[in-house]
Structures are given as structure tokens and as C-alpha cells.
Structure 1
């Protein structure tokens, strides 16, 4: 069923038999509140639905993640679909199916969170404790904050919707808010989530520590170096629960999941598979190998003085072709890694390097070297601010090569045009999908250049 609205209607319906079943309803229909979120059990089931949407193929399973690395310089496309090559060539059309799929999936996630945020405070159930109610709300706010952060860094301006979508026409005419306001909405959601959540450790659900980690990333993008360092340090300091596991492969190899490396990863199972795996694995392993490491990245990751033990990210198939091996499980239950502790070290390193004092540069090198040491590399030889920042950029390129960081890293640092040879700066934001504009002309004007 094709749902024809940019804020896709996602009314969560619970069957009379089980609170675990979620149904998409017709865009023109509505479901009474007392049939959706009405007690403790249905509130938890609705939260499960928010996580399921975050884990969907359009969002953190495949489509959105692919934007982060196909648009970078580590991955090549071996298939024939021109819409994927558009990302690699940095010439994305408004009709591109990848960007359309990601846009719709993110707004589906937002709408599920909106339903929860609107209805859970009104639930009357003696078994529903205030602590549990706060936890459910806090997790929904966190996921909505992540969704708005992802919208802002991908498209810039976007519609801000904070109430449940009941009718297909509910959000027509809202228009796009500037990127600054979309980022502000993301931060507001994280600020709201933080006191509602407890300072516990859960690698598959949002906690206060997960909020801190995403805040560190948020402030890095905002170039607020002091706050980026502050929030990264909050997580790094919890050495009992978070550490750079050794060797590098230990956080994903041998069916590992939920290791001390992970701050937040998405869980998949035999009944909810991560479709990412099939894009990377070769045909002999039941995949398509349509996404493959390019020659430049293969050379980098296999060099002893740059890749170190991260060379396990690439493997050769029976035709002597390299393929990415972060996602390899059969069935495809590989986690999607949203935030790892390695990122927090490199966020703090970058923030310290930008602050620039002698003590800050020493601290930046120490954080950078922590990640390098885990990879089996010698300490960095960079000493100046500029050299340290370039070394951090290189480290992030290899460390997160098969995760959705490279494109966004180059754009936020102002390095994308030089590194990726992009002549037109308008290509640093993706276009609003044309099919959404046809539904709602208030989304115009599109981003410059489209």
C-alpha cells in the first residue's frame, strides 16, 4: 500500500487479542484513542513500535544509513540502479527513491513517537508507575530527537511535526522550517528526554547516557566545542560500562552484540531482519555485493600504519573481489551501530583540537591515540592543530567506514567539496523528494540547486 502523504499516517492499532500487533491504516481513517494507547501494556507496545520504525529498512536498517557512506569516498556501487550512483556522483535528482524512502521512514518514526508523547501522559492505569511512564516518554523523546537531528543534517530545512497525524491532510501546508529550527527541535527533545530517563546502561534502549552521547554528537555539529567535550566525557568516564573492546573486531565478530563498545545499537532478530547484510555480502554468501569497498579504501584499511587490525572490515570472495564484512550474519540479525564509544573519543578529540590550547592539543592526541592503539597503530605524529584535525578526520574515515558517518563528517567540517571534488556547494544538502512536493507544494522552495 502506497501511503500518499509526506508525514505518512502511522496510527498504531492494537488488536483485541494482543498488544504486540501494529497495523497501518488507510490515510483517511482514524482509530479512537481507546483502541491504541490506553494502559501500561499498550504504552510499552507502542514504544516497541517506535523502535521498530527506527529499525526499519527505510531508516537505520538500510536506506538512511546508505546515504551516509554511499555519498562519501569509501564505497562503490556495483549494481545498475542509477539512483544509487547519483549519491556516489553527488548529483542526486529530486525523484531519487533512496532519499524519498529515508524521508518517509523518518517521518513515520516521528509520528509513532508523537502518538506516544501525546497519549501516554493521559493513560489511567494503577499498574503504570510514574517511573515507567517517564521512561517510556523519555525514550520516545530521544528517538524523535534523533530523527529531527537526522533530518537537519541531511536536508537542512524540514517540516516540524509534534502532534499525532490523524488525517492525511493534517500536515499539508506546514511548510519547511529552517535548519536552525529543526536542530533546535532535536535539542529540545533531547533536553526533555534527559531527566525522564535514568542513568542506567542499556545498549539497545535509550537511557540518560544515550542522551549524553547524542548530545555530544549534536554539539560537535554545532561547533560548540566545550559542550561536545563535556557530554563526550560524561560517557567516556563510565569506564565500568563503556570501553574500546579489543581487538577492533570484538564488537561485531563471532555474532557479538551489545558489547562494552556500544552506547546504542539496534537489535534485530530472525523475525525482524537487518536487510543491510545482503547489500554487502557476495553472491556466494547469499548476498548481492552491490555495495563494496572501493580501491582507495581497500588500500587504506589494509595498510599497517593506517588500517591496522581494522583490515577485518574487508574480505575477498571466491572471485578475488573485496567486500565489506561488518554485516555478515545468516540469517541477517546483524545490529545497526548508531553510537559507539570510539565515536565519543573522536568527538572529544576533535572538540579539544578546535579549542586549541597546548593542554587541549595534548588531550586531543590522547583521545586519538586511544582509538589508534585499539586498532594496533602507533601513536599519532601530528602535533599542530591542523595536522591533528586531519588525523582525526582520517581516523574517522577508517574507523566508521561501513557506518553512516563519512558524508556527514565531510559536510559538517566544510571539507566535502575539496575531498570529494564537488564543484557545486548546493549539492551538500539533499533535495526534498519531488513526490512529497507534488502532494504538498508548501515544501517549496526546494534546496538551492534542485
Structure 2
């Protein structure tokens, strides 16, 4: 218990001292871990690694994770409190002055990872109680989180600067051009392989096992990256490492009144593979997004209750349990981040719901997608995984496709995407899920993106957005104007040049 409190106190301290920086290429780590005098003990290395996690709890970071994954998708509807920058994106008007495209929080975290990777090994000779195994575990965390940050950047922006060295002095001036998306994803895969080699499988503490990087968190990231890279054999191997570990399982849903609390409110259940754990000192940003008391910015789109979670036409009491966990029927409010349980809501100072990067349901559905995308007759195996997730949630017959051809890749991908929409509603995955499947085989499924526009855009804006989406470069964010001004080596993403 004391160890847990020390960890939380250190995390809070590092969070509070961060955030005074403006540029990402010439900054020292905000917590001051820059000089040789710091890297003397294993405790200092631990503090630096905890600082990496603290940077991900900083204001605006988790909000970007949500907005990049949901704002351009088809699960949200604008409410009266919406910011103009968010409304412009939902209306298909994305420009390089929109602060949602500001990536500095991600590069700030990357720089902290780079600093640990470069400086932590020096402490091994200084502290005789510091072991190689301990150092390896810390480095594994840094490599993994650096990979995760670049994975988000590559999926969101396409080509981005790839910086693998620490900026530790104000005298350093670095102006990097963009690397291609393929180069960045290759580096992500390389970082994750290195992280897997070094990281621990078990901290001996459940909170740490869920809130810090383990080998299994790295395997989950690898599966996601390999799906994006269309390396399906590798994705299956990565998911099987998590499945075969025996450490994870679906939280029982049907007949379990504590299902919501265990999975969404606590974030430390057997289903969670890796999550950001917020607390009273550092709350998450979602209460202001979804609560009426702060000028609610978003509601669940109408289609969520009509198409994603349609009612049972025969028995009104029969429902997919994920529907009530995701949205309030009477108000259309997004509930996953507002509730302690299905009925009782949080106050703003209790807004501590975790941000779950990966959970076991994701592992099962990523494996199903990889099996189908191999297109080699393993659709029946994929269906078994899909139905395992559906049965946990009491998915209704109206969302089933009992006549599906398991050997039809298109039909199976459609079914998987529909199930992922139900399972991960408002968890920051929808845009990436659809784009990943649309772009497979040289955009063989552009229709998936088009349908998402039809689902979400107002009729008068649909043709404009559909026309833009014909250009594959429009599927990525523009480089924020501030970065173009401060780094003359950067070029704007092609779609946004001259706009």
C-alpha cells in the first residue's frame, strides 16, 4: 500500500511541474531531469520514467487521443457547448490553424522517452544497487511509449518528423523534416520489438500491471501496428501472446451488476491490458466534454441508439449491455466517462475514469480482423472470436448476421467494424478502425469512409466532404501552422497546401 501511495505522489508531483513549454524540438524535459548530476540512482531513473506517464496525464493529451479518434467519425453529434475548432472539423472544414492538430504534447512525451533511453544507462555505474534487469524494464517502458506516440502521430498525420535523440539543452537547435509514414511505422515496430525484449511481464502490483507498460501491453500495440502495416501473420502472433498468457479475460457482462464498474470505472480488471490511470489530483478531460454542468460539447449521434445499439423490437427490456454503458437513452449523453455505474454519475472532481488504450476484447477482435484479412479461409475461426465478445455483452439478434459468408472478406470486415463500433463506442478508436480497413489493398474499401460521411454529415455538407475524401491525403491532419513557422524544414501535408 505504501509503495502505491509513493508512486501516486511522485506521479502527481511530476504532473504538476510540467507544462511550461512551447516548442518540441528545442526543449528540456519539463521536470528538469537534464543534467548529469541527476542520473545517479535507480530512484532518479524511476522518477524520470514516472514522468513519462505523468506527461500523458497533462492537460489536453487524453483529449487529443479522443478527438483524433472520434471527431471525424460517425458516433458523435455536436451540442451547444462545442468549441468552434471542433465544429469546423465535424463540418469537414479542417485548416492548419486549428489547434486540434497541435502535436506538441506527443513530442513532449517522446522527448522524455528519448531522455530516459539516452541517460538512464549511465546510472547503472553510479548506483551499485541498480541492476541490469531493473534498467531493462525502465528502458522497455520508454521504448514502448515512444513507439505508441509515433503510432498515433503516423496514423493521424501520415508523414511526421522522426526524432530519436533527446533535446536536453536550450542551446540545441534542431529542425527536422518529415519522415514518411512507412518509415515512422517501421521505427515503431522496431521500438516495440526492443521494448518487448526489455520489459517486464509483471510488477507484482495489479495497478502497475494495468497502468504501466508490460510485455503484454507491448504485444497489444504490436498487433495494432501490424494490422496497420498489413502484416497479418505478425498481428496474429502478437495477439496470441496476450491470449496464451492466461493473464487476461473478458469481464463477465450478462448477470454481473458490477460489470460497468469493473471495466470502465476502475480500469484495473482482468480485461484491461494498458490504461492511463487518472486520479483526484489529475482528473481526465471528459467531464467538461460530456456534462451539462460545464456546457456539454458532444452528444451521442442519433445513429448510435438507432443503428449501433438498436432496440429489441419484441422485448424492450432485452438490451445489449454496452448500450447503457455507452449512452443514456433519455438524454443521448455519452456515459462511459460520466458514470460510477450504469445509473450514478460523477462530479467534476470525481472525473477519474481511465483512458483504456487496450483491453482483451480488442485483442480478440484484432485477431479476428487479421484472420479475415489474410483471406485464406480462416473466417470461421474469426467468427468464434467475434461471438465471444458478443455473447459477453448480450448483443441482440438484430445486430447479428447469421447468414454471413465467413469466407467473404468484405462481409466479415463489415461485421467486425460493426462489432468494434459497439464494443469501443467513444473509446477513441472509430476513425482509426475505419481508415485502417478502408485503406487496405490500396483503398479497396473507400466505401467504408464514404459511408461514415453519409452516416454523420448533414445532407448539405456530404458532397463536399465526399469530394475531399477522394484525395487520400485528406484523411490526415494538417501540420499545425505554429510548427511550420518555427521549423522551416517542415512542409505542409499535401492536401492542405494553399488552402
* TM-score for both structures, normalised by structure 1: 0.88
**Structure 1 vs Structure 2 CA RMSD:** 2.3
Contact 1:310 1:399 in 2 (8 A): yes
1:205 and 2:185 correspond: no
Seen in structure 2, the aligned counterparts of structure 1 residues 307 and 433 have a Cα distance that, compared at 3 Å, is: farther
Aligned to 1:289: 296
1:428 and 2:475 correspond: yes
Where do residues 328-367 of structure 1 align in structure 2 (5 Å cutoff)? 328=338, 329-330=346-347, 331-358=350-377, 360-367=378-385
Q: Kindly provide the CA deviation profile for residues 374-429 of structure 1, in whole angstroms up to 9, marking residues without a partner as x.
A: 11025642223321110001111121111111111111212323432532223201
Question: Which of these residues, 369, 372, 375, is aligned with residue 390 of structure 2?
Answer: 372
Contact 2:326 2:426 in 1 (8 A): no
Contact 2:273 2:360 in 1 (8 A): yes
Seen in structure 2, the aligned counterparts of structure 1 residues 310 and 62 have a Cα distance that, compared at 3 Å, is: same
Mapped partners of 1:104, 1:226: distance in 2 = 34
Mapped partners of 1:250, 1:162: distance in 2 = 44
Contact 1:353 1:364 in 2 (8 A): yes
Q: Which runs of 5+ in 2 are unaligned?
A: 1-18, 204-208, 313-317, 339-345, 439-447, 455-465
1:408 and 2:432 correspond: yes
Kindly state the Cα deviation for residue 209 of structure 1 after the two structures are TM-superposed: 1.2
Mapped partners of 1:307, 1:411: distance in 2 = 29
Contact 2:284 2:351 in 1 (8 A): yes
Kindly state the Cα deviation for residue 90 of structure 1 after the two structures are TM-superposed: 3.0
1:395 and 2:439 correspond: no
Kindly state the Cα deviation for residue 445 of structure 1 after the two structures are TM-superposed: 3.8
Where do residues 71-86 of structure 1 align in structure 2 (5 Å cutoff)? 71-78=72-79, 79-86=81-88
Mapped partners of 1:50, 1:116: distance in 2 = 9
Aligned to 1:267: 277
Contact 1:307 1:398 in 2 (8 A): no
Mapped partners of 1:111, 1:396: distance in 2 = 33
Seen in structure 2, the aligned counterparts of structure 1 residues 4 and 169 have a Cα distance that, compared at 3 Å, is: farther
Aligned to 1:114: 114
Question: Which of these residues, 250, 255, 258, is aligned with residue 244 of structure 1?
Answer: 250
Seen in structure 2, the aligned counterparts of structure 1 residues 234 and 171 have a Cα distance that, compared at 3 Å, is: farther
Contact 1:109 1:144 in 2 (8 A): yes
Mapped partners of 2:118, 2:319: distance in 1 = 48
* TM-score for both structures, normalised by structure 2: 0.80
Bigger mean CA deviation after superposition, 330-339 or 197-206: 197-206
Question: Which of these residues, 33, 38, 46, is aligned with residue 36 of structure 2?
Answer: 33
Kindly state the Cα deviation for residue 49 of structure 1 after the two structures are TM-superposed: 0.4
Contact 1:155 1:431 in 2 (8 A): yes
Kindly state the Cα deviation for residue 308 of structure 1 after the two structures are TM-superposed: 1.3
Mapped partners of 2:186, 2:32: distance in 1 = 32
Question: Which of these residues, 242, 249, 261, is aligned with residue 235 of structure 1?
Answer: 242
Bigger mean CA deviation after superposition, 64-73 or 144-153: 64-73
Number of equivalent positions: 424
Aligned to 2:15: none
Contact 1:281 1:325 in 2 (8 A): no
Contact 2:220 2:239 in 1 (8 A): yes
Q: Kindly provide the CA deviation profile for residues 47-80 of structure 1, in whole angstroms up to 9, marking residues without a partner as x.
A: 0100111232332x21232220111100122124
Mapped partners of 1:251, 1:23: distance in 2 = 42
Aligned to 1:280: 290
Mapped partners of 2:244, 2:319: distance in 1 = 26
Seen in structure 2, the aligned counterparts of structure 1 residues 8 and 99 have a Cα distance that, compared at 3 Å, is: farther
Q: Kindly provide the CA deviation profile for residues 305-354 of structure 1, in whole angstroms up to 9, marking residues without a partner as x.
A: 6971111134449xx52101111244111110100111111111111112
Q: Kindly provide the CA deviation profile for residues 151-202 of structure 1, in whole angstroms up to 9, marking residues without a partner as x.
A: 1000011111111113457353211111111111111111111111133371
Bigger mean CA deviation after superposition, 379-388 or 408-417: 379-388
Mapped partners of 2:259, 2:43: distance in 1 = 33
1:70 and 2:82 correspond: no
Seen in structure 2, the aligned counterparts of structure 1 residues 403 and 314 have a Cα distance that, compared at 3 Å, is: closer
Q: Kindly provide the CA deviation profile for residues 281-319 of structure 1, in whole angstroms up to 9, marking residues without a partner as x.
A: 232xxx4321210111122344246971111134449xx
Contact 2:24 2:108 in 1 (8 A): no
Contact 1:172 1:442 in 2 (8 A): no
